[in-house]
Chains A and B, each alone.
Chain A
Amino acid sequence: MNLKEYRVVFAATALVLILLGASPLLNAFLSFPNKATPFSELYVLGQNRIMSEYPVEVTNDTDYRVILGIGNHMHESSYYSVDVKFRNQTQSSPDSSNSTPSSLPPLYEYRAFVGDEQSWETTLVFKLQNITYEGNSTLVGNLSINGQTFTVNTPAAWSSQAGDSYYQLFFELWLYNATSNRFEYNDRAVWIWLNFVP
């Protein structure tokens, strides 16, 4: 190697050492944002955390338990609200193609603050009460959720094909938007079908 080539080696080594020396400062100012798409999860499980243990066949005035959970992958702490609603086969349901929630009013509500990459879970206990039959239809008078009783008076037609009357207990996820200062529907809904056999 001649002197010119040695100079290049010296300069390159010095440059690397300068970058190493400046690394504490670079570390303080450089940040690499998480490029993964932020999203939230909403899930419902049977009481032993098994999907096959969903209450499906339900009877009058009996307690049923499900586990409701939220997972936060929004890259920051988030404030969630979960609306619990009850409908029959014909009433409004959440529409994932239009990202709209059901137009039914919530019966019950959960609020949760969840840290990034954390989850939140709760056990929901519900029972259907004051169920009456009239002709080919069933009428659920009350729905009790976690010990609070709500009047629903929801009829359901008896399905001749299935031989049952179907209802749906469903959950909608709403996410607080800190910019607009309001909850916005997060296009996440989960449900369990409740089959009432007379």
Chain B
Amino acid sequence: MLLGVLLIIAFGTSFFTMHFADAQTYPTKSKFGYANDVVEQAFNAVLDAEKAGANVTDLLAQLNDAAGILAQAENIYRTGDYNTAVAQADSVLNASNSIGNQAQALQLATQAQKDETVNLSIIISAASVIVVIIASFLAWRFFKRSYYKRALQMKPEVVSDES
């Protein structure tokens, strides 16, 4: 029991130390990496929505705004103004997360609409095929009957042999 408690304390301490060290050592670079990851995840979600058949024009425009700010942050970083660069990179996070969520919602909505269309297509197609088969069968029967009737009503005619 005591050993277990000691292990939990030791593990917990090292976990918090590790995160603290990360934040202290890579405050700027990690922010850029994180901001890039968030924008890329948002784009992946938009791409999935597009593949599902959604119109993503609005989302792409929003992503363009976020990417413009992120690129600007990287450019500012290169000039040495780290604080402004980090603030700009930070400002991209919320917008990108929101775009990612919108894209996922759009993908689900498009998929649901697509499923509904497919279900409707199945019903319409099945009904059409059944109607065509029954109509063809009835039409054939009617035609066959009238064909035989016409054949039976035919009278043999004597044709003079001129040869």
Contact = CB atoms under 8 A, between A and B. Distances in A.
Interface of A: 3, 6-7, 10, 13-14, 17-18, 20-29, 76-77, 79, 81, 107-115, 120, 145, 148-150, 176, 178, 181
Contact of A113 (B67, B117, B122, B143): B67
B60 interface: yes
Interface string B46-79: 1100110000110010011001101100111011
A111 B125 contact: no
B35 to A, nearest CB: 11
A81 B68 CA distance: 10
B85 to A, nearest CB: 11
B133 interface: yes
B139 A25 contact: no
B140 A148 contact: no
27 contacts: A3-B147, A13-B136, A18-B129, A21-B128, A22-B128, A24-B124, A24-B125, A24-B128, A27-B121, A28-B118, A29-B118, A76-B47, A79-B40, A79-B67, A109-B75, A111-B68, A111-B71, A112-B64, A112-B68, A113-B60, A114-B60, A115-B56, A148-B76, A150-B78, A150-B79, A178-B43, A181-B40
Contacts of A20: 128, 132
A20 B128 CA distance: 8
B29 interface: no
The 4 closest A-B pairs by CB, nearest first: A21-B128, A111-B67, A25-B125, A14-B136
Interface residues of B, number: 39
A145 B124 CA distance: 60
A149 B141 CA distance: 88
A21 B143 CA distance: 23
Nearest to B81: A148
Interface string B142-161: 01100100000000000000
A111 B125 CA distance: 46
B94 interface: no
Contact of A109 (B51, B74, B124): B74
A116 to B, nearest CB: 8
A107 B125 CA distance: 60
Contact of B143 (A6, A27, A111, A115): A6
A151 to B, nearest CB: 9
A17 B136 contact: yes
Given A3-B144, A18-B129, A76-B50, A148 B60 contact: no
B60 A77 contact: yes
B44 interface: yes
Interface string B111-138: 0000001101110110011011100100
